[in-house]
Amino acid sequence: MKNNILLCTILATLCILITSGCTIHQGERDQSNSTASTQTSLPNSSASVDVVLEEAVSDAIISHNRGSFRGDDKQMFATEYHEILKTVAQDKSTEVYLVALYAQYQFEEGEAKLTGSGSNPCVITFVSADGVYSVTDYWEPEDGENYESSLRSRFPEDVLESGTELSEPNAMEICNQRAMDYFEGQGADSSKPSA
């Protein structure tokens, strides 16, 4: 047990150091930053994405995927990890090309258990008004034999050449650690869903 706690502590520390571009969703957000529009540099990219857009991307991933996996009263925590590959802004519309990882968990027998996850490239289109982003389209490539052609029909060539896979090898571990941290923080009240 002590080895597990030590390992979790080490992993948590590493996660904090490498989670640039990641966000967490626990139902309630810190409203003090809800209209911030500071610019942050993305890792492995010369592009900048504002913090509000990052949060909108995170919310869109969780909202889009939540209904696709096991859903019952035990579904208590959902999180995501994403890497933005490119953003294209025109007027009030912004297209975000990214790779998203979604994971959801439940607390059972003292553990955070993964109940569903998925990862794929996608394009999320937002309109913005007064610093607020609203999703107008969430596109994912087709499955099966049409995957490659649908991806090529929607993604810019420069993004395809750079790759549409997650560059962070520990993305799933990052999500797992978030779930463990969430449930540990809930303590005796771990029966409350995160939203």
Total tally of structural domains belonging to the chain: 1
| Model pLDDT, residue 110 | 82
16: in domain: yes
Domain that holds residue 101: 2-189
Residue 49 has pLDDT above 90, yes or no: no
195: in domain: no
| Cβ 78 vs Cβ 67: under 8 Å | no
| Model pLDDT, residue 29 | 32
The per-residue pLDDT for range 168-183, each reduced to its tens digit, is: 999 999 999 999 999 9
As a whole number, the mean pLDDT across the chain is 76
| 194 phi/psi in degrees, rounded to 5 | -85, -10
> What percentage of residues in the chain have a pLDDT greater than 90?
53
75: in domain: yes
The per-residue pLDDT for range 135-174, each reduced to its tens digit, is: 999 999 999 999 999 999 999 999 999 999 999 999 999 9
Amino acid, single-letter form, for residue 61 = I
pTM: 0.70
